[in-house]
Amino acid sequence: MVSAAGEEICIEERRHGVVLVGSFLRAFALAGPGVLAVVVGWPATIVGALLLAVAAAIVLRAVWRWERTLVVLTTDKLFVVHGTMRRRAAAVRLARVGPIEIEQTLLGRLLGYGTIVAGGLEITHVPEPRRLVDRLSI
């Protein structure tokens, strides 16, 4: 993703782990009845196994997407890269970005994540957004 000669990566990190919470809650909501159905026995075991498989698939997909999404700050650009088979990147050049905003909810301030808005680029769930913005200002 680094294209210009002399361009160096300053920060490269994943989005905050809080993005996984919703998927994990959905998976646990399916896994609970799934375990109960397996314990009950035949024929509920089939339904229980299916619920457990769906719960596992939800968690695997969420973790896979989280793993494959990166926030990257170089000496020239700020961008977010995501995808596995088809890698996509949305970028903004630092020279043209203008004002940079940080949006944080109360929960975001407590857990250390926020949204960065730089030009037309909005990146959600950035860990320690103040640190990234401080690096942008240098």
Listed residue (63, 22, 98, 117) closest to 126, CA to CA: 117
Q: What is the pLDDT of residue 137?
A: 67
Q: DSSP code of 120?
A: T
Q: What is the pLDDT of residue 2?
A: 52
Torsion angle defined by CA atoms of residues 27, 33, 37 and 38, in that order, rounded to the nearest 10 degrees: 40
* Annotated domain spans of the chain: 9-16+70-137, 20-65
3-class DSSP state of 66 = helix
Q: What is the pLDDT of residue 128?
A: 93
CB 7 within 8 A of CB 75: yes
- b/e sequence 4-22, b meaning 16+ C-beta within 10 Å: eeeeeeebeeebbeebbee
Q: What is the mean pLDDT of each run of 10 residues along the chain (138 residues)?
A: 72 94 97 95 93 98 94 90 88 85 95 92 93 79
Q: What is the pLDDT of residue 35?
A: 96
pTM of the predicted model as reported, rounded to 2 decimal places: 0.82
Instruction: In whole angstroms, give the CA distance from residue 63 to residue 38.
Output: 26
